[in-house]
Amino acid sequence: MSALNITHDPARRSWIESANAGDTDFPIQNLPFGAFVRDGETRTGVAIGDRVVDLRALHDLALLDGDAATACASACDSTLNALMALDARHVSALRAALSDLLKHDAPARSRLTSSIDAVLPLAADVELTLPCAIGDYTDFLTSLHHTERHGRYKGLADPLPVAFKSLPIAYHGRASSLRVSGGDVRRPYGQFRDADGNVRFGPAPMLDFELELAAVIGRGNALTRPIAIDDARNHVFGYCLLNDWSAKSIQWFEQVLGPFLGKSFHSSVSPWLVTEEALAPFRKAAPSRAAGDPAILPHLRGSHDQQNGGLHLDLYAHLSTAAMRSDRMSAMQITHTHPDNLYWTFAQMIAHHTSNGCNLRTGDLLGSGTISGASDASRACLTELSEAGKKPLALPNGESRIALEDGDEIVLSARASSPGAVSIGFGECRGRIAAALPYPHAGEH
């Protein structure tokens, strides 16, 4: 696991002024990895302030050597997968080299400023895209409060599933419909019961967002070879935000073997992978368990994970409606939560996921599940914010919501803060609900 190193030095500032602003998500201490389209070509990059290091252009300058050069060469591709599959020391070396090139007194600064738009384009001038090819997407259910509330809404006598405290519950999600932050989220069609209890097919009436944190796998494991709990975080390349858009009306009707079409129409991820190393200053102990909770089974109990599996991270969801934007109103913060609301750590999710020998591959995405806490402010989806529709969420302009309407936009964000460290952010995960299209083949039969 990465110890603190020069890339975390809070005194370090960048010659890129936007990276020194107190509210930037991307100070020189962050250096998250992503991918972007430029002149029709997909390239990989690193965020710094309001700019993006184009790793292919940097590679062509031949400023790097050793492990950093190896890492940069492997990033000369349309995805980060080759870089992510490398041993962590390569990525660490590349981040250290980037930090040295971007610090305010960098000797090589003039080599970069002389071709700044080629090597460090403005983020606003490129189109961010998915950072890596995602083979499998797994979504967990690890918030006790989210799970209990939904159990209550369903009227279950015991709202928490029996297995919840024995293992991190999960299901396989749909990889093909993962999309990077931004753009439209098209309202899906589906089968659901109408108010009279009849089965209908049409645009889904009850759309929701779900605020999640996700880990992206770096080095994978071979089939039949589980990953040990205290080795698990060495298999994480980085983290991003995930909005697991849900069509509740479809889900309620279809769900026998887990979520399917109620989720697979679109899932949004934030474009930047914040590395394990960048998060090192924000680590803390894993959340403690309640007295009387069952003992953690040995393969899910790691001493390093217990001491270090938590994160000082604030997570937010903001909502704006078409009417609010038309009135130039700011988006309303509707959720403020943090990873302490997860009953299981990402290391435990990985150890469990591979405990049967299942292989994780570079680029696989593991969602935490909706990160709802006990407080009202920390409810991380509209279903909970509206108490399953019983208490519509009031908006500042007099509108209210029990579900997302066409034109509603959700923006997820996150910020890691800890005394003595420079705060870093995740960038945003944004999506706006677009009206259902006419069903393409209606009336043809």
Is position 210 annotated in a ligand binding site?
yes
Smaller CB separation from a second copy, 55 or 349 = 349
Tokens of 409: 């936009």
Q: What is the DSSP letter of 28?
A: T
In angstroms, the Cα distances linking 151 to 94, 370, 388, 419 are 46, 14, 11, 38
Smaller CB separation from a second copy, 264 or 345 = 264
Is position 409 annotated in a ligand binding site?
no
In angstroms, what is the minimal distance from the CB of 37 to a second copy? Answer: 17
Residue 126: HSE in the Cβ half-sphere, 13 Å Cα cutoff: 27
In the numeric block, the tokens 């991003």 are attached to 240
Smaller CB separation from a second copy, 173 or 281 = 173
Residue 157 CB neighbour total at 10 angstroms? 5
What single letter denotes the amino acid at residue 349?
Answer: M
In angstroms, what is the minimal distance from the CB of 169 to a second copy? Answer: 5
Q: Which residues of 23-44 are buried (b: 16+ CB within 10 A; e: fewer)?
A: ebbbbbbbbbbbbbebeeeebb
Smaller CB separation from a second copy, 117 or 201 = 201
Smaller CB separation from a second copy, 50 or 231 = 231
Is position 251 annotated in a ligand binding site?
yes
From the candidates 8, 90, 146, 353, which is the catalytic residue?
A: 146
Is position 74 annotated in a ligand binding site?
no
Spatial distance between the Cα atoms of 285 and 143, rounded to a whole number of angstroms? 17
Tokens of 360: 């994780």
Is position 337 annotated in a ligand binding site?
no
Smaller CB separation from a second copy, 201 or 333 = 201
Question: Positive or negative, the Cα torsion across 307, 427, 52, 72?
Answer: positive
Helix (H) or strand (E) holding 251: helix 248-254
In angstroms, the Cα distances linking 243 to 169, 190, 208, 369 are 18, 20, 10, 10
Is position 17 annotated in a ligand binding site?
no
Q: Report residue 89: phi and psi, to 5°.
A: -65, -30
Q: Which residues of 274-306 are buried (b: 16+ CB within 10 A; e: fewer)?
A: bbbbbbbbbbeebbeeeeeeeebeeebebeebb
Is position 267 annotated in a ligand binding site?
yes
The two counts, helices (H) then strands (E), for the chain are: 13, 26
Smaller CB separation from a second copy, 87 or 254 = 254
In angstroms, the Cα distances linking 338 to 150, 233, 283, 380 are 19, 19, 13, 10
Are 4 and 280 in contact, with CB atoms under 8 Å apart?
yes
Residues 6+ apart with CB under 8 A from 129: 35, 36, 37, 42, 180, 271
In angstroms, what is the minimal distance from the CB of 77 to a second copy? Answer: 17
Helix (H) or strand (E) holding 185: strand 184-186
Is position 244 annotated in a ligand binding site?
yes
In angstroms, what is the minimal distance from the CB of 374 to a second copy? Answer: 21
In angstroms, what is the minimal distance from the CB of 160 to a second copy? Answer: 10
Residue 227: HSE in the Cβ half-sphere, 13 Å Cα cutoff: 27
Residues 6+ apart with CB under 8 A from 33: 44, 45, 46, 75, 80, 83, 131, 237, 238, 272, 273, 275
Smaller CB separation from a second copy, 24 or 142 = 142
146 is an active site residue:
yes
In angstroms, what is the minimal distance from the CB of 199 to a second copy? Answer: 5
Catalytic positions: 146
Residue positions forming the annotated binding site:
139, 210, 212, 244, 251, 263, 267, 370
Question: Which residues belong to the annotated binding site for Mg(2+)?
Answer: 244, 263, 267
Q: Which residues are annotated as a binding site for Ca(2+)?
A: 139, 210, 212, 244
Write out the binding residues for substrate. Answer: 251, 370
